[in-house]
Structure 1
Amino acid sequence: MNEFVYHPSGKYLFVATGQGRVEIFKMPELELVRTVAAHSGQSNCVALAVSPDGKRVAVGASDALCFIWSIHETICERNLGRLDYHVRAVAFTYDSQLIATGSEDHCIDIAYVNDGSRVHEIRLEGEVYSAAWHPQQLILALHPRVILVNETVSVYDYLATPVESDLRNKNAHIHCCAYMETFRNDSKYPN
C-alpha cells in the first residue's frame, strides 16, 4: 500500500498498491468492492487523488504516467505522460477542472482534466513528493525536497499563467507556494 484517499461522499476508500492496482473498499465495512488494474502490472501505483466532484480518480505510478479514471464507468479517460520519473503527487483543484502532477522531475505539471492539455509547468529546485490545492482558490501548496549547503527553510511564491494558445480563460492565474525544506550537506553536520 502506498497511498489512500476517501471518496468525497465518504462511502469508499481508494488504496494505491503495487502491481499497478487500485483497490476500492466500501466504508465503513472495509469491504473490497473492486480492484482496478490502473497501470501495468510492472508499475507501482504511488499517488492518488479523487476529484472533489467525485467523478474521477487520478493515479500516479512508477511508470511516470498519471491516469485519470472515470469512477462511475471504471474506464481510463486519459493519461498524462509529460513526466519522466515516478509520479509522486497528484491533486485536483476545488472545481475538479485542473490537475497537478509532481515527480522526481523537479517540476509540477498542471493540466486540464477534461483533455489533458498543459496549463503550465512550474520548474522547481527539487523532487516533488506532496501537493495540495486550496479548497476554494487556485492556490497550490507543494513540497519539493532540496539538498543545499548551509541553507534554511525558504518559501517561494510562483505565479503560473495559462499558455498563450489557451483561450479558455486568459485571466486565470495559479499561485503556488513551495515549502522548501533544505538539508545541510557539509562536514560540520554529517548525514
Structure 2
Amino acid sequence: MTNHEVEKLKDYFQQNDRTKEYSFHIAKVHSVAWSCDGKMLASGSFDKTVNVYLLDSDKDRLIREHTYKGHTDSVDQLCWHPSDPSLFVTASGDKTVRIWDWRSSKTIASISTKGENINICWSPDGQTIAVGNKEDLVTFIDFKGSKIQYEQQFKHEVNEISWNNDNDLFFLTSGQGSINVLSYPALKPLDMLNAHPANCICLKFDPTGKYFATGSADALVSLWDVAELVCVRTFSRLEWPVRTISFSYDGKLLASASEDLMIDIAYVESGEKVAEVKCETPTFTVAWHPKKHLLAFACDDKDKYNSEREAGSIKVFGFPKES
C-alpha cells in the first residue's frame, strides 16, 4: 500500500508542479502561514508589514486582500488562530505582539513584551499565545484578555516553540540539539530528548497527532512518535542546516528547506522522496495548505546570480500544469 501511495503522490506532483510567485513586499519575507480554513495566506516581512491574500481556487491564484501596518520593526513570525479563520497574530523585533482580524485594517490588540520577539505559536484550544524572544524568554499571553499571563526564562538557547495537539505539553527546541518537553500549564520539565548533535532549529506537529518533526543544523530532519517520544526515522537529503519544516494536511508529506536550492518533500511513513521544489536562493519558511497539497514558501532575496531579482516575494507550489 505504501509503495502504491508514494507512486500516486509522485504522479500527482508531476501533474501539479507549477510554482507561482507574488511580489507585494519590498523586503525579505520571514514567515508564511495559512488560515485554518485555507482561504487566506499571510506573509510577514522585514519591511514591517503583513500581507494577507485570498486563495482563488477556481483560477489557481492568490489575490492580495490587504497590507497591515503597525509594527515598527521586522515581522519575524506569524500564525493564525487554530479555529477562527479571521484572526492571526504577529511577532516582531519591535518588542510587541499584535493580534489582527484580517477583515479590519487595524490591530485588535498590541501587547508589549520584554525583548525582540522571534518565535510565536497559538495553543490548540485558542486561549493562549506563546512568544519567544532573543533572550530565551517565553511569554504566555491570554488571548481574550490580551494580557501577559506569565513568563518563563530559560538558561539555554530556545529556538522554535509549540504545544502538542492535545494542549497538555509544551515543546521547545534548543541550541544544545535537544527537545525539551514541559507539562502544560504547569511548565514543569518532563523530558529532554537528545535529538541532534547540533543546534535543533525548528519543530512541527503533524495534524493527525501521530508524529512531530525537528530540523537541525546537522542538516537532518528527525521524525518522532508523539506517544512514545522516540525517533522513528531521519530524512537526510539536505546538506545545510534545516531552517523550516511543515506537514501536509493529511500528515502524509513533510516539506523541509534550508540553504540548499531546493525544498524536499518526503513521504512520512517511509522517508522516500515524493517531489522536489527548485529554488534560486535559500528558503527559510514553508507552510502546507490545511486542505490541499499546496505549499507556500519564501526565499532569501540575496541572489548572487541576479541582482535585479525582486525582493519580498512569496511562492506557492502545487498548481496544475498549464494546459
**The TM-score by the shorter chain falls in which range?**
0.7 to 0.9
Structure 1 residue 21: deviation in Å?
0.1
Q: Measure, in 2, the Cα distance between the counterparts of 1:99 and 1:28.
A: 29
**Equivalent residue in structure 2 for 1:17, among 171, 174, 188:** 174
Provide the aligned length of Structure 1 versus Structure 2: 159
Q: Measure, in 2, the Cα distance between the counterparts of 1:46 and 1:109.
A: 17
Structure 1 residue 107: deviation in Å?
1.1
Matched, 1:27 2:184: yes
Q: Measure, in 2, the Cα distance between the counterparts of 1:138 and 1:175.
A: 9
Matched, 1:46 2:201: yes
SS state at 1:2 partner: strand
Asked whether the 8 Å contact 2:260–2:282 carries over to 1, the reply is yes
Tell me: CA distance 1:157–1:47, structure 2 relative to 1, closer, same or farther (3 Å). closer
Which one has a larger percent helix, Structure 1 or Structure 2? 2
**Equivalent residue in structure 2 for 1:8, among 156, 165, 176:** 165
Scaled by the length of structure 1, the TM-score of the pair is 0.78
Structure 1 match to 2:265: 110
CA deviation map 1:102-152 (0-9, x unaligned): 011021000000000000111101111111111111111111112242443
Matches within 5 A, 1:1-191: 1-40=158-197, 43-148=198-303, 149-152=307-310, 153-158=312-317, 174-175=318-319
CA deviation map 1:147-166 (0-9, x unaligned): 242443445454xxxxxxxx
Q: Measure, in 1, the Cα distance between the counterparts of 2:190 and 2:216.
A: 22
| Unaligned ranges ≥5, structure 1 | 159-173, 177-191
Tell me: CA distance 1:133–1:96, structure 2 relative to 1, closer, same or farther (3 Å). same
Asked whether the 8 Å contact 1:140–1:175 carries over to 2, the reply is no
Q: Measure, in 2, the Cα distance between the counterparts of 1:114 and 1:175.
A: 24
| Unaligned ranges ≥5, structure 2 | 1-157
Q: Measure, in 1, the Cα distance between the counterparts of 2:315 and 2:181.
A: 37
Q: Measure, in 1, the Cα distance between the counterparts of 2:224 and 2:279.
A: 28
Scaled by the length of structure 2, the TM-score of the pair is 0.47
Report sequence identity in percent: 34
Matched letter for residue 180 of structure 2: E
CA deviation map 1:61-85 (0-9, x unaligned): 0000001011111221110000000
CA deviation map 1:44-72 (0-9, x unaligned): 00011111111111010000000101111
Q: Measure, in 2, the Cα distance between the counterparts of 1:2 and 1:143.
A: 20
Q: Measure, in 2, the Cα distance between the counterparts of 1:15 and 1:145.
A: 25
